[in-house]
Amino acid sequence: MTDDLTPDIHPLLLCGGSGTRLWPLSRKSYPKQFARLTGAESLFQASARRLSGPGFTAPMAITGSDFRFIVTEQLAAVEIAPAAILIEPEGRNTAPAILAAALALEARAPGALMLVAPADHVIPDAAQFRDVVQAAAPAAEAGRIVTFGIRPDRAETGYGWLELSEAPDADFAPTPQVLKGFVEKPDAATAQAMLEGGQHLWNAGIFLFSTTTLIAAFETHAPEMLAGTRAAVEGAERDLGFTRLAPEPWAALDDISIDYAVMEKSDNLTVMPYGGAWSDLGGWDAVWRDSGPDAAGVVTSGPSTALDCENTLLRAESDAQALVGIGLSDVIAVAMPDAVLVAHKDRAQEVKQAVAALKAKGAPQAETLPRDYRPWGWYESLVVGERFQVKRIHVTPGAALSLQSHHHRSEHWIVVEGTAKVTVDDEVRLVTENQSVYIPLGAVHRMENPGKVPMVLIEVQTGTYLGEDDIIRYEDVYART
């Protein structure tokens, strides 16, 4: 509880999405919420920090199994200990995810206030946003479901809108408003009319409610989903520091958003206007807009250079790759080590069509980054040949790979940063910078980082088959099989 006896607010971060609109930076294997798009922290880290402080408990998070260690690593990097991390067996949209978290929270804190927020939004003024959330708490305590509406500054067709019974105050004071209705993503003319009318706000997809209120809404409007989600929560299993929801009842749930499942059917919704800056970074045009273009409308990131350009975003993600634009106007150019996007800024929302086309061709770039994140760190392939592969492997301090062997390949490790503790069959030794070790085919081996700084090594694999599934695990601190 806070000092003035107002109830604590329990944040829930939704971080299981795998959006494609920021391809090639955001991919299914590493979606945008974990990327550093507009600052030194990832969107997920910034969201967790924004929802921390007086009046807020440690955040909960719900995500997919593939991202569970990324979540813990990124929270640890900003020194935030989560209250719980729920693992979805598979993606089922926001309705089951939010309901599962509400049921889990209700079990340990009946009637608690829960704030639901996507983990990929940008809200620069964190203090202002927290104040507005606190101002909405009395309405949530009184049994209202509060949705937050954003002051629109353009006729945006990519967002849903909220229709109010009357226009907010001119200064956008945090005063709850009566919701008249939801408006789906409009056409340009409708969006312009709503912008000029002053009685519509953008739908941010952020909600505040008591757990008992939300559960009651599902009992009224989606009882089958409530029963199935409750079974998934009651059958959940602990896995290291995670809570894995039971897969069988979860698989039977509808894939549906919280808006369609209950919000648009409920009669106890209230809108809290928010007049500060906000963006969901829903496309590269939004990244350009929210990155502070210079006087010519140019944004550069990484080793990129703009010459005589205007209204253009140039973003290079590799220090070994220079990106230069000359005489460009209204262009988005994003260079990754394995893929490059060049598009007219007005067509940035069509990037997902490019991803679909690449996926149809079987191109790995459609969904997978060249850097593969694991619970112990990450690796990336530098060179791939028919019977050899060269990787860079980055192991975080205190982390260890599994004790393993391979049927089809041998490995040669060269430490280039830090110190590795290496096990090869019965021998254990330390390998420091500029030293190397050979792992024969079939040898049982492991690498660990016993130090306080990251350990980096170059791995050269040779053999008849180099796939990641050629691993026999004997021991693993992350409970992988």
Alpha carbons within 13 angstroms on the beta-carbon side of residue 344 total: 2
For CA atoms 333, 334, 340, 346, give the dihedral sign: negative
At 421-464, the pLDDT tens digits run: 999 999 999 999 999 999 999 999 999 999 999 999 999 999 99
- At 295 the pLDDT is 97
Going by their DSSP bridges, the two strands 409-417 and 436-439 should be labelled as: antiparallel
Mean residue pLDDT across the chain: 93
pLDDT value for 249: 96
Which residues of the chain are under the pLDDT cut of 50?
1-3
Provide the token pair at 370: 């060249």
* High-pLDDT (> 90) share of the chain, %: 81
| Per-residue model confidence (pLDDT) at position 320 | 86
228 in Cβ contact with 252 (< 8 Å): yes
List residues bridging with 114 in a β-sheet.
10, 209
- State the Cα–Cα distance between residues 219 and 17, nearest whole angstrom: 26
Phi and psi at residue 73, in whole multiples of 5°? Answer: -65, -45
Q: What span, in angstroms and rounded, lies between the C-alpha atoms of 362 and 467?
A: 17
The CA-atom distances, in angstroms, between 37 and each of 47, 142, 301, 317, 360 are 13, 38, 10, 11, 28
At 372 the pLDDT is: 87
Q: What is the largest CA-CA distance in the chain?
A: 75
pLDDT at position 334 is 97
Residue 6 has what pLDDT? 63
Comparing CA positions, the residue from 116, 93, 24 lying closest to residue 315 is: 24
| Confidence (pLDDT) at 158 | 86
**Can you give the pLDDT at residue 239?**
84
> For position 481, what pLDDT does the model report?
66
Element (H, E) at 177: strand 177-183
